[in-house]
Amino acid sequence: MTTYTRLGYYRHDVNKTKWEVADRYRDLRQVGTGAYGIVCSALDRFTGSKVAIKKLQRPFQSELFAKRAYRELRLLKHMKHDNVIGLLDVFTPDLSLDMFQDFYLVMPFMGTDLGKLMKMEKLSEERIQYLVYQILRGLKYIHAAGIIHRVRCLSFSAATRCWIGGILDFGLARQADSEMTGYVVTRWYRAPEVILNWMHYTKTVDIWSVGCIMAEMLMGRPLFKGNDHLDQLTEIMKITGTPTQEFISKLQSQDARNYIQKLPRLKKKDLQSIMPNINPQAISALEAMLLLDPDSRVTAAEGLALPYFTEFRDPEEETEAPPYDHSPDNAEQSVEQWKKLVHKEILTFKPPLVVAETKETAL
């Protein structure tokens, strides 16, 4: 049932959830839901393009939720890159700060994902080169801002808006030096340092995940398919070998050091022997990404320069995001203070100059 509210807005129930959205967005259809929000696809009547609209679940129910909402909004406003989902619009139906309770994030709609694509057909090598190049290009951009994306699994729904055309769900991004638990990333794509919370994560935590995704595209199946955390680590070490003493000494957790030192010694396997029919340049790229020691992995910028991606490379297009100021996100504020900051961010939002049809990576 649709009810018109104040000028320019209407109310519509989406699976028993009340949405009050700007009149330009029609044909709301739920495409995803999670702990922090619901996502609908919609038609933007101004541009004729399909968009994704995210309504955060009670964003001001606690200081933690309010801080998360503020952070997600700021990060989305900061990003302006072809391979990173940015913000097309943000609005609230509430007339004043006193009434402010809900707001909606409008982003390009991504109609497909790699998981679906891989189930439909075997990807050609040219496509794999191009797609991984685009992923690395997006990561170079966001890593320059000091943001770790925490690349997740291949089977992203349209709601989570990932690899095809963009690489981001900033509700899950973290600044580069913050502690993160390992439960968000699908296990098969988690970097080894995430599995046992070995150390502070660096930007190369994302590179490991890209290597796992690339290997799956080449092989048609996951490279590391563990049944639980420790089994995942075992599957990884069957290929990478057990860590060197030098690497073990870097681990911040004594429990992790003790666990690793008790493992049977395993030698590193040659990836070419596991994937005998794969282009040696692809193997070299995987070898550079899938290293146990995060400090030894290539960065996104270094990955772009690998020979495997030469055919698609355009260094002038490999841009970097401007620095992102994390200090407001890390402040301790009351719910009311966070709400005031979010409201200000909404009021100061400037939409893209040209809102074109959603860009999807050519498949």
Structural contact between residues 153 and 186, judged by C-beta atoms closer than 8 angstroms:
yes
CA–CA gap between residue 3 and residue 11 (Å, rounded): 5
Structural contact between residues 146 and 90, judged by C-beta atoms closer than 8 angstroms:
no
**DSSP secondary structure letter of residue 228:** S
Cα Rg of the chain (Å, integer):
22
CA–CA gap between residue 265 and residue 79 (Å, rounded): 44
The contacts found for 7-10 with CB under 8 angstroms, 24 or more apart, are 9/93
Residue 324 CB: number of other CB atoms within 10 A? 17
Say whether 16 counts as a known binding-site residue: no
* 338 three-state secondary structure: helix
Q: Which helix (H) or strand (E) holds 344?
A: helix 335-347
283 CA to centre of own chain: 24
139 CA to centre of own chain: 9
Which residue type is seen at 258? N
Which residue type is seen at 9? Y
* 38 three-state secondary structure: strand
The pair of three-digit structure tokens given for residue 170, joined into one six-digit string: 């900033």
Supply the DSSP string of 49-84, one letter for each residue: -EEEEEEESSTTSSHHHHHHHHHHHHHHHH--BTTB
Q: Which helix (H) or strand (E) holds 27?
A: strand 25-33
Residue 246 CB: number of other CB atoms within 10 A? 8
- What residues are designated binding site for ATP? 55
- What residues are designated binding site? 55
